[in-house]
């Protein structure tokens, strides 16, 4: 049973000091690797790890081909300014080949997990001699996985999986007692810029969690283009999270006066504190119309844009 630390009760300095000590003790004079995606969780872990280990922590950004536009450059740039060197590792071909032909959501998540932990990190850990992987699993990830809602890509021990036995390295999870609001406080106290600690959540399986049906480079590119528009137009709402989802079903539309049996994008925009429950933001019809017209104008193949009005539960935040 993990003991939750709620955001209102966190003593940020004490938490940071304790975690830095725990990481130092665990890793000793060895090496560790950490996977940075640029989300608030992995950004906070990167800062904790660097405080604890300095140059003995190797920080990598895995380019899995499923990230948002310009994400690797942006994240590496942010951390450069913080004095942390980020190595970008291109593994996109591996991810697309693992996802090939899979439509079942849990099978997709499993394919991503195996590619991350067994193939990409397994290889990197072997090459670098590191014995530890530091990662930003939070309590909500564990809860949803254990409850059987969704297999979060980064949860093992609570499912009875021993990472050392399965992948050949140990995993350290300094944020496992926190939820998103708590991590934001820690991130701020660690000196992350607001652009990072206020970033909207983005899931480990990345844009693959937002493509219903098969995941191909082309379909990811479609949802990526729609994501740019959704994030640009909804940033000023201050909502907890917003996203574009590419549907599998096609609908008849028309373009240039001709029939176009096209694709559909669903927009979701959530009000939430900790992602456990969420309600759709009451967007104005003006914003909804702008979203539709820009998505249809700029994303090839889209003939329909919808807005989700279902709360979580029974919806979940991501679509798969």
Strands (E) across 7-53 are located at 32-35
- Asked whether position 144 contacts ligand XMP by CB under 6 A, the answer is yes
Strands (E) across 85-165 are located at 86-90, 132-134
Residue with tokens 């996109």: 92
Among 203, 230, 266, 304, binds ligand XMP (CB under 6 A): 203
How many CB atoms lie under 10 A from the CB of residue 200? 18
Quick one: which segment of 28-36, 164-172, 199-207, 296-304 binds ligand XMP (CB under 6 A)? 199-207
Among 65, 174, 187, 201, binds ligand XMP (CB under 6 A): 201
Percentages helix, strand, coil for the chain, rounded to the nearest 5?
45, 20, 35
Among 5, 19, 141, 175, binds ligand XMP (CB under 6 A): 141
Kindly state the smallest distance separating residue 254's Cβ from ligand XMP, in Å: 34
Task: List binders of ligand XMP among 36-75 (CB under 6 A).
Answer: none
Measured from the CB atom, the residue of 210 and 219 that comes closer to ligand XMP is: 210
Among 12, 114, 294, 316, binds ligand XMP (CB under 6 A): 316
Quick one: which segment of 65-73, 197-205, 212-220, 251-259 binds ligand XMP (CB under 6 A)? 197-205
Burial of residue 320 (number of CB atoms within 10 Å: 0-12, 13-18, 19+): buried
Residue 33 CA to residue 89 CA, distance in Å, equals 13
Among 34, 46, 154, 177, binds ligand XMP (CB under 6 A): 154
Quick one: which segment of 4-12, 49-57, 167-175, 309-317 binds ligand XMP (CB under 6 A)? 309-317
Task: List binders of ligand XMP among 256-275 (CB under 6 A).
Answer: 275
Residue with tokens 């590792």: 89
Inter-residue contact 137 to 176 (CB < 8 Å): yes
Measured from the CB atom, the residue of 108 and 219 that comes closer to ligand XMP is: 108
Residue 257 CA to residue 276 CA, distance in Å, equals 45
**Of 71, 76, 22, 29, which is closest to residue 49 (Cα–Cα)?**
22
Among 65, 182, 205, 301, binds ligand XMP (CB under 6 A): 205
Task: List binders of ligand XMP among 224-263 (CB under 6 A).
Answer: 241
Inter-residue contact 13 to 189 (CB < 8 Å): yes
């Amino acid at each position: 049973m993990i003991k939750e630390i709620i955001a209102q009760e966190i003593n940020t300095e004490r938490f940071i000091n304790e975690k830095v000590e725990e990481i130092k003790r665990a890793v000793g004079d060895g090496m560790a690797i950490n996977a940075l995606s640029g989300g608030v969780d992995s950004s906070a872990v990167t800062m904790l790890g660097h405080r604890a280990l300095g140059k003995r922590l190797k920080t990598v950004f895995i380019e899995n081909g499923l990230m948002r536009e310009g994400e690797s450059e942006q994240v590496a740039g942010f951390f450069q300014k913080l004095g942390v060197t980020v190595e970008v590792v291109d593994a996109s071909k591996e991810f697309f080949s693992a996802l090939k032909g899979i439509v079942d959501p849990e099978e997709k998540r499993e394919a991503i997990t195996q590619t991350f932990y067994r193939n990409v990190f397994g290889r990197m850990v072997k090459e670098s001699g590191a014995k530890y992987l530091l990662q930003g699993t939070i309590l909500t990830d564990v809860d949803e996985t254990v409850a059987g809602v969704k297999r979060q890509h980064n949860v093992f021990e609570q499912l009875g999986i021993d990472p050392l036995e399965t992948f050949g390295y140990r995993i350290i999870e300094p944020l496992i007692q926190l939820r998103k609001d708590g991590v934001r406080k820690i991130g701020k106290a660690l000196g992350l810029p607001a652009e990072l600690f206020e970033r909207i959540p983005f899931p480990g399986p990345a844009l693959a969690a937002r493509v219903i049906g098969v995941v191909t480079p082309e379909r990811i590119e479609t949802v990526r283009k729609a994501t740019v528009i959704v994030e640009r137009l909804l940033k000023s709402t201050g909502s907890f999270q917003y996203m574009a989802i590419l549907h599998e079903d096609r609908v008849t539309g028309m373009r240039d006066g001709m029939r176009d049996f096209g694709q559909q994008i669903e927009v979701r925009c959530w009000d939430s504190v900790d992602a456990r429950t969420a309600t759709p933001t009451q967007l104005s019809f003006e914003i909804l119309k702008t979203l539709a017209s820009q998505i249809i104008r700029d994303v090839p193949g889209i003939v329909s844009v919808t807005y989700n009005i279902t709360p979580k539960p029974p919806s979940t935040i991501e679509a798969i």
